[in-house]
Amino acid sequence: MEVFAFADGELVTLQGNVQGTHFFIVAEGTLTILRDGAMRNEITQGAAFGESVILLSGAQNATVRSKGSSRVYGVTGHAIRRTLRNRYQKDRKRASKLINDLLGAGQCTLLHNLSPYQTQCLFDKCGMSCFVRGDVLMKEGEAVNTLHVLVQGSLSLSVKGNRLEPPGAFGIIGEMGLLYTKADATAITQEPSQTLTLTRELLRDMFGDKLEEELLRSCLLGRLVQHGLFAGLSMEQLDVIAGLCQILELPAEAELEEQEVYFMMCIHGRVEVEASVPGTGPGNKKQELSGITGDSLGEECVTQENVPWMLRVRSAAGTTDAVKFAIWKNTGLGEFLKQKSRLEAAATRHADSPMNNRPSFKKLTSMRMAVWQDDKEAALRKVVVLRTLSSEQLRQLAAALEVQYVAAGETVFSQGEEGKDFYIIHTGQLSVKIGDRHVRTLGMGDYVGERALLFSEPRSATITVVEDSELWKMNKEAFMDVVKGPILDYMKDRIAFQNTKVELDSLICLRIIGRGGFGVVKMVQLPTTSTRYALKCVNKRQAVAQKQQKALALERSILAELDHPFVIKFIRSFLGKHYVYFLMELVTGGELLDALDSLGLLKKPQAQFYSGSIILALEFLHERRIAYLDIKGENCLIDQHGYLKIIDFGIAERLRGGRIYAVKGTPLFMAPEVILGKGYNCSADLWSLGICLYDFMVGRFPFGSDTASNPEIFRAVLKSPLKLPKGIEREEATKQILMGLLTRDPTKRLGAGPEGYDAIKQHPFFSDFRWDELLSRQLSAPYLPKRETYAEDQENPNTEKASAHTNPRMTSAGFATCEGDEADDTWADPDPSWQEHF
């Protein structure tokens, strides 16, 4: 902090000055505040001024003059924001790195499937502990209030001096201790080790009333991980296995009988089990099972397809606590393990073959898991072009699936014949051939022929049966009976966009449709399919001059993982000599602002439609810990059916730690926490959503206006009360959702709590809204574009006529003979490493 002395009448700050750098606190003396030439106030010791530099908002909002001699303390705005950032980051940087490693591995039995809220809690409140060799993490019989996740090093576990199988990387230590208040084993470090520490309070915040259930499930998954029968399975697969069981509790000195049991595993305590096959007389298998070692019974039933057991279970002698154990009473577990063995054996037999692309059980997708569970509706939801259909549509399509049995050697369909049916493989294997060339082998959960549902065209390959198979078949007529309207055009586009092998020099430039700070956006076409795209052309020289290389690489990375009906679809990128290119879907209906201008103030159903579309898009982004940071009407386009598309991910951020610190966005839409510089997360987008909804229904912004200066907007966002028109005040649901979204405390903001986006979607404002039908494009849009509209047309009404030239091809040299490209052959990028991402 610096000290500044001023003489009588000397200026300290000048209203309108954009070069101000310091925030001041009066040390001694008196200063006068003048605004627009008039004196507004006098301030003395302890008073502060110059806050605009903290907000990085540019011009000073007042003139400050010394009245007599005075001294002030000063500190730069950047220094203050840096201090605020460092205060949080000091202890969080290393923990954030470990949390990212843990979540990325997906191997932690308790933390592998967290909601966005739970993930944020982890980043904000999870602790980190370091231990040396010989430190005791927990001691058998002692109270436990903290759970440890091992992230580095190794431990020994023991019960009454007997060594147990130690936890591996990301293993949990202490979940049963939290459940039963005292440790069931002793854990000692064998070398310098690090753990993430989660207190009971943090876990209660993350899991709420389901904490005990989640801890018990985590313990069961931990036992399954260490059981040889389930070796090599992913956490997703183990979750399915755990979902097939019943977890039972047996009080001390109690006994029970269970029929039709194929497999049993003890989770906590000790039990004595007598197993027999019904109708064979006295029990022929007795043993004691311990939960601490995950003892089990019934491997032969699930691996050799034996008949199930009848079990008589009682608490072991000396047991004082209730015993927990899991039983599996259906044949699903056996079928699962049979499929696992078959695929592993096939992979081993063909391991050395260059054509070995048989499905690996370790890599079974969620699609295959759904098929294995015989869940037709869930399986259909995993098909790319069907995933946005409503639950009712998927239910009807699932009911329309026919079961078809085919024998080895049969042909399912031949190359060149007209496609009429779509197939999902339930069991067995199929071969795909194009001409005489074998392309790949398909197995359980794979699907073929989806284009036949939407197009009348010849098959591109021949499908033959490798081994006896059961197929789920859907014909085109049944599909068209269920799926109608705008969703069909959307689905056709999705199939067209799966072609990512489009090359830059194969595209024809039709016209320019928009311009930006770094280049132009062109409408281009692939002649072979007549598919049109938008091609965003970014001038490399300008991007480097503005230091936007990392931002462009991040934008490309984020776009590449997004596939949602209300987010613009990225196809691929190209790297040219002077430009980098983003090939995107073409959205033809103009900006959302055009629709708002046409509709005027939105009625509730119209506001539900547009805000609901933004909500579904944000929910999709936030599930992936992507903060958009610039939600506003200008960044939303309308497609030919009137549906919304969010565009421009130029300032989006991926949350790799707990918070973001960069000041990003448009001031009128910025959340208070973004302005203050203390760090923020995805909930900042919920504030921007609230601003949009207010604008939709009121016709102005709640804090500031288009003509206000940034300091005025920021002060209003931070301090001004939310004022609602009388009409909105009388609509209680509308009032409450606006107040909920425009809550200054981000932890209390609607949608930012444990319920996540369900709190918004189930809010009374949306009580009569059909979310499924919005996603599946069955609702009528409030505004239907009458013609194709682009930003370039509005800026220059003669653009379309001026751009109608002779369809020049794009070239990898970095520019086409299409208006709007300028290049400098003398320029060279001083550090081209960032271009590797394109």
- Concatenated DSSP letters for 761-828? HTSGGGTT--HHHHHTT-SPPS---SS-B-HHHHH-TTHHHHT----PBP-TTS--SSTT----TT--
- Ramachandran sector of residue 130 (left: φ over 0; alpha: ψ -120 to 50; beta: rest): beta
Token pair, residue 723, equals 């004022």
Sequence-separated (6 or more) residues with CB below 8 Å from residue 796: 802
Which strand (E) or helix (H) includes residue 741?
helix 732-741
Helix 200-207 to helix 211-225 angle (10° resolution) is 100
Continuous segment of H or E residues that includes residue 580: strand 579-585
> What is the rounded distance in angstroms from the CA atom of residue 619 to the CA atom of residue 739?
20
Comparing CA positions, the residue from 309, 372, 370 lying closest to residue 340 is 372
Contacts of 294 (CB under 8 A, 6+ apart): 222, 223, 224, 226, 227, 265, 266, 267
Return the SS3 of 568.
Answer: coil
Distance CA 757, CA 749 (A): 11
C-alpha distance across the termini of the chain, in Å? 45
CA distance 649 to 629: 9
| 346: three-class secondary structure by DSSP | helix
φ and ψ at 342, to 5 degrees? -65, -45
Q: For residues 783 and 592, what is the distance between their CA atoms, to the nearest angstrom?
A: 9
> 411: which 2 tokens?
């042909």
Contacts of 175 (CB under 8 A, 6+ apart): 110, 147, 215, 216, 218, 219, 222
Which residues belong to the annotated binding site? 536
Q: Using DSSP, state whether 268 is helix, strand or coil.
A: strand
Burial class of residue 236 in the structure, from the number of CB atoms within 10 Å of its CB (0-12 exposed, 13-18 middle, 19+ buried):
middle
Give start and end residues of each alpha helix (H) in 69-210: 77-89, 93-105, 116-125, 175-180, 200-207
Q: Token pair of 813, please? A: 């040299």
Main-chain dihedrals φ then ψ at residue 7, nearest 5 degrees: -85, 170
Residue 415 CA to residue 424 CA, distance in Å, equals: 18
Q: Which residues contact 511 (CB under 8 A, 6 or more apart)?
A: 522, 523, 792, 799, 800, 803, 804, 818
* 382-418 residues labelled b (16+ CB within 10 A) or e (exposed): bbebbebbbeebbebbbebbeeeebeeeeebbeeeee
The question of whether 758 is a catalytic residue gets the answer no
Q: Please enumerate, by residue number, every residue annotated as part of a binding site for ATP.
A: 536
Q: Find tokens 């069981």 and name the residue.
A: 245
Of 630, 639, 685, 821, which residue is the catalytic one? Answer: 630
Which long-range contacts (C-beta less than 8 Å, at least 24 apart) are formed by 715-719? Answer: 717/667, 717/670, 717/671, 717/672, 717/675, 718/672, 718/675, 718/676, 718/744
The region that residue 518 occupies, defined by phi over 0 for left and psi between -120 and 50 for alpha, beta otherwise, is alpha
d(CA 504, CA 811): 6
Q: Which two tokens stand for residue 775?
A: 């996603």
| CB-facing half-sphere around the CA of 836: CA atoms within 13 A | 3
Question: ∠406-411-416 over CA atoms, to 5°?
Answer: 145
Cα separation, 751 vs 631, whole angstroms: 16
Task: For residue 720, give Cα distances in angstroms to 603, 615, 715, 717, 744.
Answer: 26, 26, 7, 6, 11
Active-site residue set: 630
